[in-house]
Amino acid sequence: MKTENKFYVILFTFTITFVFVVILSYINSLTYDKVLENRGYFKVRAILNAMRIDFSDKMDAIEKFKKYVKKINIGGKDFYVSNVGEKVYAYVFSGNGLWGTITGVVALNKNLDRIVGVDIISQNETPGLGGRIEEDWFKEQFRGEKVDKEIGIKKSEKLGDSNKENYSVDAITGATLTSKFFVKIINNTISEMRKVLRGDTYE
């Protein structure tokens, strides 16, 4: 076969690209529902984690989400409200990290002055460095933190800052920029939440 013929080269390139793309889109369509379902579950899981509602597995999480969490729209924004114990407001945020968009959830208490919890839905930070914002010790620092003014980051040798009154969390070693961006997103989200929620939430 004369494989160096110009026509053959074009035909070959076209055919092989076409075949591979068709196969890929077929595989993609097979798994599309599953991927969507995973994405939905990530969101539900993050909201429950941020609100500190315990669940055992996927089924349980979806059930508890339906049972305890209500989606409400205030001022054109979607908030998630839970009534297990004290009222908790959660908001899904999305903001710029060092490399890409970070989406996640911040949950605030009834008075909007303490964080109930934060969780991350998706991020593209460097695995092993900035990607560690997903680790529990990092997220745990925000739990209960007083936020009537902006919080900042500091460097320390230990893993995590347990003082809830100092308006500060420990940065991730080697990922100061990601930590800085993340805290900035959290601060912005909280002030955004206050702006929208204050007024009609103080009983």
Partner 1 sequence: MNKYKEIFFKNVWYENPVFVLVLGICSTLAVTNNLKNTLIMTIGVLLVTGFSNLTVSLLKSFIPGKVRMITQVLIISFYVIIVDIVLRAYLPDVSKALGPYVGLIITNCIIMGRAEAFAQSNSPLLSFWDGVTSGLGYMVVLMVIAFFRELFGFGTVFGYRIMPEGFVNWTIMVMPPSAFFMLALFIWIVKGRGNNNA
CB of 146 to partner 1, least distance (A): 29
Minimum CB distance to partner 1 smaller for 65 or for 89: 65
Best CA proximity match to 45, nearest among 141, 142, 122, 133: 122
CB–CB of 193/108 below 8 Å?
yes
Best CA proximity match to 162, nearest among 183, 144, 185, 174: 144
The CB density around residue 65, as the number of other CB atoms within 10 Å, is 21
Find the binding residues for partner 1 in span 66-95 (CB under 8 A): none
Position 58, amino acid: K
- When binding is defined by CB under 8 A, the residue of 57, 136, 157, 200 that contacts partner 1 is 157
Measure the CA angle with vertex 112, ends 111 and 117; round to 5°.
120
Phi and psi for 64 in degrees, rounded to 5?
-65, -35
Structure tokens at 200: 């009609």
According to the binding rule CB under 8 A, does residue 22 interact with partner 1? no
According to the binding rule CB under 8 A, does residue 123 interact with partner 1? yes
- When binding is defined by CB under 8 A, the residue of 95, 112, 122, 177 that contacts partner 1 is 122
CB of 58 to partner 1, least distance (A): 11
According to the binding rule CB under 8 A, does residue 20 interact with partner 1? yes
Q: What is the CA radius of gyration of the chain?
A: 22
| d(C-alpha 108, C-alpha 145), whole Å | 10
- When binding is defined by CB under 8 A, the residue of 22, 23, 60, 63 that contacts partner 1 is 23
According to the binding rule CB under 8 A, does residue 31 interact with partner 1? yes
- When binding is defined by CB under 8 A, the residue of 68, 87, 112, 126 that contacts partner 1 is 126
Minimum CB distance to partner 1 smaller for 136 or for 165: 136
Binding site for partner 1 (CB under 8 A): 1, 3-4, 8-9, 12-13, 16-17, 20, 23-24, 27-28, 31, 34-35, 38, 41-42, 99-100, 122-129, 131, 134, 157, 173-174
